[in-house]
């Protein structure tokens, strides 16, 4: 959803810069990401949270956990629900119901990727099979829109899930077959979720006869076809979706998938390194958020 | 067991005295793409404001724009994780629309609308965490964002809330104090001119107590004004220094 308007000369400049020189307007090469800033654990009233800045795109993800009844098809599993809110802060086009279509698309894609066995072990969300389970609500607000929403949301979600702690409850059998669930007194008594095989989405856009990673708003406007690929830390592809009105030939798709794999592996390893560093300095640094 | 808003020693539930504000922290120019933006924290209430404008009126509002004034449009949304319980609908619900209408009305009193005819100014508010006095903190955030956008105003608009317990006015109430059910007064003032732009009272209050609680709110607004004005001056000094260097 491009909210920028470009003249033909500007489009020509962007497309030919990428085709002929392999250089983009901000000096990046075709497989470079913009600088990513990620901070977790900044909202005290949530079970897990993260803030992400990718170029001009700014997101805030928060996790609230509620009790629910498991789906009869999977009685020993909980589930994860995603909600994306494109805030009017981000762009005038998101006022009223303007951002609905975009957020629905991203929500569906994330749900598809996360509600299967390969991404997240949903059995860790079960409390009492057939009766009680945890429902993890992941809410993402888009505060500023500078292009490449899919990738940034997937990294923010992974960060929030990494920070998320599920309360360690003790279940006791009450009367009439009901169960009593007691929350622990200590708020730090939590179980962390295992997110090592959660995928990160990588958007590859076709511009002219080359493909680029992490498009800005202007580059998104110049590209007519993109592939959104889910890549895990081991380089496995977990899901793929093509967006845009243009068409792709099969050779392009295999080239783009190869790029997606290598870029995805790099992003995942950078993420893991950052989470380790953050854990190391967590106690000595105050979370500032937007201050 | 009723919650004690004010203990016998004069302390509230979070340890403040009756006329003490929560800690106010703010930041201007948080986003680059919006014309003006600001972030403010009053205790645990955290609100982000973004201002777009003045710009050509958008499709929806083209018919409503007056020829001699600008149109002010306000959008208010609450994050799903902002309150204690998860909120399913971020905007478009009754409370959000009412809040947006009140804030629009508040700022029409201060923005020099005659300087921007046939244009539209959008004030977008996003509540990240809500712990009471949502209207007051939203107004303060919007004021800072409008200053950052360089939109001409008659004066700052500063808002504050107050409640009454055991005959003493409590300034800047938080969520717990709001939910107890005592009378709650919110007011927005023009601090330098000393005039009240908007006021809203929820709950029962005796007319003799009205004067006392209004005075408390005005005093609270002056205190918030001192903090915010200080911050704005520092921000302008830093920005000017950066221009000078380059």
Q: What DSSP line would sit under B135-195, residue for residue?
A: HHHHHHHHHHHHHHHT--BSS--EEEEEEEETTEEEES--HHHHHT---EEEEEEETTTTE
The residue ranking higher by pLDDT, B114 or A286, is B114
Residue A178 has pLDDT above 60, yes or no: yes
pLDDT at A187: 76
* Least confident range of A81-85, A174-178, B148-152, B227-231: A174-178
> How far off is chain A from B27, nearest CA to CA, in Å?
6
Q: CB-based burial of residue B240 (10 Å sphere; 0-12 exposed, 13-18 middle, 19+ buried)?
A: exposed
The Cα A273–Cα A159 span in angstroms is 12
Over residues B111-128, mean pLDDT: 94
> How far off is chain B from A17, nearest CA to CA, in Å?
25
Looking at beta carbons, which residues of chain A come within 8 Å of B91?
88
Say if strands A170-173 and A179-182 run parallel, antiparallel, or are unpaired: antiparallel
Q: Does A252 touch chain B (CB under 8 A)?
A: no
Residue A3 has pLDDT above 70, yes or no: no
pLDDT in tens, A256-265: 999 999 999 9
pLDDT at B147: 96
Over residues A148-160, mean pLDDT: 94
Give which of A35, A84, A88 to mutate to test B binding, by max B Cβ within 10 Å.
Answer: A88
Residue B144 has pLDDT above 80, yes or no: yes
pLDDT in tens, B67-107: 999 999 999 999 999 988 888 888 888 999 999 999 999 99
Round the average pLDDT of chain A to a whole number and report it. Answer: 89
Per the CB < 8 A criterion, the answer to whether B106 and A69 are in contact is no
Rounded to 10 degrees, the C-alpha dihedral A6/A8/A10/A11 comes to: 90
User: What's the token pair of residue A49?
Assistant: 């949270």
pLDDT at A201: 94
Q: Does A145 touch chain B (CB under 8 A)?
A: yes
Closest CA to B36 of B105, B115, B122: B122
* Least confident range of A9-18, A118-127, A265-274: A118-127
The residue ranking higher by pLDDT, B53 or A199, is A199
pLDDT at B3: 64
The Cα A192–Cα A137 span in angstroms is 16
In chain A, where does DSSP find H-type helix? Answer: 8-16, 100-114, 149-163, 217-222, 250-281
Residue B206 has pLDDT above 50, yes or no: yes
Backbone angles phi, psi at A212, to 5 degrees: -125, 155
Backbone angles phi, psi at B32, to 5 degrees: -90, -30
| Type and span of the H or E element at B78 | strand B71-78
**What pTM did the predictor assign?**
0.91
Looking at beta carbons, which residues of chain B come within 8 Å of A49?
81
pLDDT cut 90: percent of chain B above it: 70
């Amino acid at each position: 959803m491009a909210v920028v308007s470009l003249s033909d000369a500007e489009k020509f400049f962007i497309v030919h810069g990428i085709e002929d020189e392999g250089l983009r307007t901000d000096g990046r090469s075709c497989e470079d990401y913009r600088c990513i800033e990620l901070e977790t654990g900044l909202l005290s009233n949530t079970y897990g949270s993260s803030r992400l800045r990718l170029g001009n795109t700014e997101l805030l993800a928060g996790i609230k956990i509620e009790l629910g009844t498991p789906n009869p098809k999977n009685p020993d599993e909980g589930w994860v629900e995603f909600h994306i809110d494109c805030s009017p802060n981000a762009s005038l086009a998101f006022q009223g119901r303007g951002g609905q279509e975009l957020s629905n698309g991203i929500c569906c894609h994330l749900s598809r990727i996360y509600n299967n066995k390969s991404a997240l072990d949903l059995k860790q969300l079960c409390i009492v099979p057939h009766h009680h389970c945890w429902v993890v609500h992941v809410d993402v607000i888009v505060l500023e829109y500078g292009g490449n929403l899919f990738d940034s949301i997937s990294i923010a979600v992974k960060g929030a899930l990494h920070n998320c702690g599920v309360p360690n409850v003790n279940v006791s059998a009450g009367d009439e077959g009901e169960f009593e669930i007691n929350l622990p007194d200590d708020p730090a008594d939590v179980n962390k979720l295992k997110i090592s095989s959660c995928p990160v989405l990588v958007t590859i856009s076709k511009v002219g006869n080359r493909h680029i990673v992490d498009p800005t708003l202007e580059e998104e406007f110049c590209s007519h076809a993109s592939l959104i690929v889910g890549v895990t830390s081991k380089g496995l592809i977990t899901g793929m979706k093509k967006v845009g009105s243009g068409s792709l030939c099969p050779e392009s798709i295999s080239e783009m998938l190869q790029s997606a794999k290598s870029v995805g592996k790099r992003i995942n390893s950078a993420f893991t390194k950052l989470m380790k560093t953050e854990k190391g300095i967590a106690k000595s640094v105050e979370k500032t958020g937007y201050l | 067991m009723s919650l004690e808003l004010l203990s016998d020693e004069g302390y509230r539930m979070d340890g403040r005295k009756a006329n003490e504000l929560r800690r106010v922290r703010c930041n201007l120019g948080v986003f680059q793409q919006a014309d003006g933006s600001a972030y403010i924290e009053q205790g645990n209430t955290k609100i982000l404001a973004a201002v777009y404008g003045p710009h050509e009126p958008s499709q929806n509002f083209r018919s409503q724009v007056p020829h001699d004034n600008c149109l002010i449009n306000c959008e208010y949304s609450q994050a799903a994780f902002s309150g204690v319980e998860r909120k399913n609908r971020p905007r478009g619900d009754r409370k959000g629309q009412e809040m947006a209408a009140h804030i629009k009305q508040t700022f029409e009193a201060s923005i020099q609308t005659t300087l921007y005819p046939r244009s539209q100014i959008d004030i977008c508010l996003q509540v990240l965490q809500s712990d009471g006095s949502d209207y007051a903190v939203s107004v303060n955030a919007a004021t800072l964002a409008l200053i950052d956008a360089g939109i001409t105003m008659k004066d700052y608009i500063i808002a504050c809330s107050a409640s009454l317990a055991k005959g003493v006015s409590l300034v800047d109430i938080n969520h717990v104090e709001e939910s107890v059910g005592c009378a709650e007064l919110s007011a927005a003032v023009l601090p330098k001119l000393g005039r009240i732009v908007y006021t809203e009272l929820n709950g029962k209050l005796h007319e003799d107590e009205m004067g006392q609680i209004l005075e408390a709110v005005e005093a609270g607004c002056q205190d918030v004004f001192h903090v915010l004005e200080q911050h704005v001056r520092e921000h302008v000094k830093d920005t000017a220094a950066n221009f000078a260097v380059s």
